[in-house]
Chains A and B, each alone.
Chain A
Amino acid sequence: MMKTVNAVAFQSPQFSLLSDCQIQDIHLAALEVLRETGIRFHHTGAIDLLKHAGAFISDGNLVKFPAKLVEQALASAPSRIIMCDRDGEPSVFLEGTKTNFGTGSDCLNLLDPYTHEHRKFTREDIINGYRLVDALPNIHFQMSIGIPIDIDPKLTYDVQMLEMLSNSTKPIVFVTNDLASCQRAIDMAAAVAGGPEALREQQHILLYSEPSSPLQQSTTAVDKLILMAKTELPVVHSPGPQMGAVAPITMAGGLVMSLAEILSSLVIHQFTNPGAPFVFGAGIHHMDMSSMQICYASPEFQLTKAAIAELGRWYGLPTWGYAGCSDAKVMDEQAAVEAMISVMAAKLCGSNLIHDVGYMESGLTTSFEMIVLTDELVAMVDNFIKGIEVSPDTLMVEELNTVGPGGNFLSTKATRSHFRSYWFPTLLDRKIRATWLEKGATTLGQRLNLKVREIIESHQPKPLATDKVQALQTILEKAS
């Protein structure tokens, strides 16, 4: 038996971006911006609440925050959120470094898996998207994916919610355009969960809303934030600024501004209802100064998302992240490369609620093939993150002594009991050329497309009980 000493054991790959002191510098800089310049709130209710809590109001709606308010809010926000699936089973754990992947919301266009056309979404397309999410093991939650054009635009968010609840059991991160549609989304989810109380226990849905960078909060966004706090359903109130356009050009500056915005949101949220669940997040992109487009797959975007994950953990809050996105226009080699760096970075930095899987062209287009590829990449990187186990059982000294020089390990017991811990890809190809040729000599792109079609054509999601379908329909009809 080997002797062990009190050494620090590493098993998985190590990644850390910011030192504790740097995190503190960013935190203090954000507090200084909150004190000196403050945030403009286009919301009278919020201003009254903040004034009462001890913030300073000037120029009508400019709110300046003393550090104590921020610290109070940080102290009351919970450290974990457990989202259940539609059947009430816990499935998405937002805490620590646990990673969960999901699609993005509201794209205008789809890359048609049959015609390969770039075209607008229909209701049937979003249903196919939700069923795809339902079928893929490494896609853990759903977002609306697209905006269908064959429905009444005023009911966009109602139809999305109805179809997500009907076509997949996975937890939902949703978007709405105003307070009323947010309330209807909650009502729909409550009808499915078995009432508001059951929904609150199951936390099946989570709202994604946003401040208006730089340093502003809109009426509708704050309306929704307050509603979520009151109902005790989780919310991520995430800035989505572009460095060089609506945020300072440096990454540290982008972080400071975003942090000031997040913390101001957290104060409103926690002072409305202390202990209500809040996810810490920001998507800090930069604008490509040659194309004027917002970068979703740059190396810098991976860095800011890692910084947000580290900051969130420093505060002890669940975190929001991004992966499986590309700036490419079609599902090509660029898209695959960008998907990989984003999944790798997400797994290394350990954000909890990692969304926008399938986004192409800065959030204007979705590719179903990209969602399927990301499902595969998550599995691949999971096996990278697992690292190398170093233990008496894996050092295999005895095995080496037994087999000895010139032997082989192909048929030993140890090989038989361990070989399955290696990852087997489902879509990446490792066949010999002859077999590959026999099987049709397909490219990865073709196999991704095939899998998308197979799922669309054959996957049957667990049906929603008819009385619940009816309840959703009634809410939708009342809205129109």
Chain B
Amino acid sequence: MEQLLTGMQKCVIDGEIDQIQGYVNQALSDGMEPSVILNNGLIAAMNEVGQRFESGDFFVPEMLIAAQTMQTGLAILKPLLIKADIKTAGTIVLGTVKGDLHDIGKNLVAMMLEGAGFEIRDLGTDVNSEKFIEAVRNGDADILGMSALLTTTMPTMKETIDALVEAGLRNKVKIMIGGAPVTEKYAQSIGADGYAPDASRAVSLAKSLLN
């Protein structure tokens, strides 16, 4: 068992995306619990990847391929986890605000969050407040994340939060925001729950918001 988990972890860390489902299926047929495969196999591997990234051994592409590998393995586990009523880390709706087409940062945040086990609904770029609100109203989002890279588009963040309050939906989700012109102070001033200056910190923030 231990050996299988070690192999699975190595598979995620090395980003061997074609082989991960073999490991997961093997573990299941050996009778391992889906939650054990998830926590001691896939997530444990991603924690190691995260550490290597922080210490400078790993670079972004290596981390993202590892995250995709973990997602590919998770795809097999998902139906089983739902049946067993085991929740994923949480669901996050993400988007770049109206008038803004910058999405490199938002996409990195999305991929890193996925790597940490969150479920992502990406609304893309140029997203107006109505679309954000609709996604909150009709979905099971735990967190709403908004990105803006232009000072001229930042006001949509405030608009969206105000509109959520008006629609009585503000308490349904936590809100985090980011992007180069955004600051902690701005986040507080518009009533967001948190701000993060980069993707790794966005992951810690998301985790802390749901704890």
Of B28-36, B73-81, B148-156, B170-178, which stretch is located at the interface?
B148-156
Other-chain contact of A292, B56, B101, B151, B199 (Cβ < 8 Å): B199
**Complex interface residues of chain A between 121 and 157 (CB less than 8 A to chain B):** 147, 149, 153-154, 156
Interchain CB contact under 8 A, A244 and B61:
yes
**0/1 interface trace, chain A 213-255, chain B, CB 8 Å (1 if under):** 0000010000000000000000000000010111000000000
B99 within 8 Å of A by Cβ? yes
Interchain CB contact under 8 A, B198 and A153:
no
Interchain CB contact under 8 A, A242 and B151:
no
Residues of B within 8 A of A108 (CB): 151, 180-181
**Complex interface residues of chain A between 94 and 111 (CB less than 8 A to chain B):** 108
| Known pairs A242-B104, A292-B108; A153 contacts B61 (CB<8 A) | no
A133 to chain B minimum Cβ distance, whole angstroms, is 22
Interface size class of B (residues with CB under 8 A): 10 to 19
Residues of A within 8 A of B104 (CB): 242, 245-246, 287
B206 to chain A minimum Cβ distance, whole angstroms, is 17
| Known pairs A245-B104, A246-B104, A292-B108; A156 contacts B59 (CB<8 A) | no
* Chain B at the A interface: SS class: loop
The tally of CB-CB contacts under 8 A between chains A and B is: 35
B158 to chain A minimum Cβ distance, whole angstroms, is 12
Residues of A within 8 A of B84 (CB): none
A258 to chain B minimum Cβ distance, whole angstroms, is 16
Closest Cβ neighbor of A154 among chain B residues: B152
A107 to chain B minimum Cβ distance, whole angstroms, is 10
Interchain CB contact under 8 A, B61 and A292:
no
Interchain CB contact under 8 A, A289 and B181:
no
| Known pairs A154-B152, A156-B151; A290 contacts B59 (CB<8 A) | yes
Closest Cβ neighbor of A157 among chain B residues: B152
B60 within 8 Å of A by Cβ? yes
Residues of B within 8 A of A153 (CB): 151-152, 154-155
A364 within 8 Å of B by Cβ? yes
CA distance A98 to B180 in the complex (A): 35
CA distance A149 to B99 in the complex (A): 19
CA distance A156 to B199 in the complex (A): 29
Interchain CB contact under 8 A, A218 and B151:
no
**Complex interface residues of chain A between 274 and 304 (CB less than 8 A to chain B):** 287, 289-290, 292
A177 within 8 Å of B by Cβ? yes
Given contacts A153-B151, A245-B104, 18 further A-B contacts (CB under 8 A): A108-B151, A147-B151, A149-B151, A153-B155, A154-B152, A156-B151, A156-B152, A177-B99, A177-B150, A218-B101, A287-B104, A289-B60, A289-B61, A290-B60, A292-B60, A292-B105, A292-B198, A364-B180
User: What are 11 pairs between A and B in contact, CB < 8 Å?
Assistant: A147-B151, A153-B151, A154-B152, A156-B151, A177-B99, A177-B152, A246-B104, A289-B61, A290-B56, A292-B198, A292-B199
| B residues whose Cβ falls under 8 Å from a Cβ of A | 56, 59-61, 99, 101, 104-105, 108, 150-152, 154-155, 180-181, 198-199
